[in-house]
Homo-oligomer: A and B are copies of this chain.
Amino acid sequence: MKVRIGIEGFAIDSAHYTLSSPGNAQLHGHTYVISVEIEGQVDPSSGFVMDFEILRKTVSEVVKEWDHKLIVPAKDIDKIRVEAPFQMEIKKINAPFATAEYIGTEIAKEVYQRLGNKYKVNIKIYEGKDSYAEIDYP
């Protein structure tokens, strides 16, 4: 029997823009709120699909890389130059746009890989208070 385990309460506070959406070409940001599920068998030698602590540690490591960044699609990287008194670290996303759909897919892929390509991963990522994308990976 398949069981899913999930952890909630992750957030990344990052800046982005979406050239394909009217009004969102303007640089802005979100507290993206993220939850993660994995699906697997319960291991009878532990009682777990996976120890929550291990899943939480793995997701934390992935998510940290996306936090407090300006998320920029690969194709735009060379077009951005900023001189300013603040810090602005860029996180490149290998996708045409830094939308919730693509950010969520990248995070799902990274969690999937760090867990050894063994568990189906589901990511729910809120962009704003009540809009989200949900990705089953792979």
What residues make up the interface of A, taking CB atoms closer than 8 Å to B?
Answer: 1-9, 18, 20-21, 35, 37, 42, 44-49, 51-53, 56, 95-102, 104-105, 127-138
Contacts and interface: CB of A to CB of B under 8 A. Distances in A.
A131 B7 contact: yes
A47 B9 contact: no
Which 6 residue pairs of A and B lie closest in terms of their CB atoms, listed nearest first? A47-B97, A47-B99, A8-B130, A20-B46, A9-B130, A4-B134
Identify whether the interface residues of A are mostly helix, strand, loop, or mixed. Answer: mixed
A131 B20 contact: no
Given A42-B102, A46-B20, A48-B21, A4 B97 contact: no
A95 B128 CA distance: 36
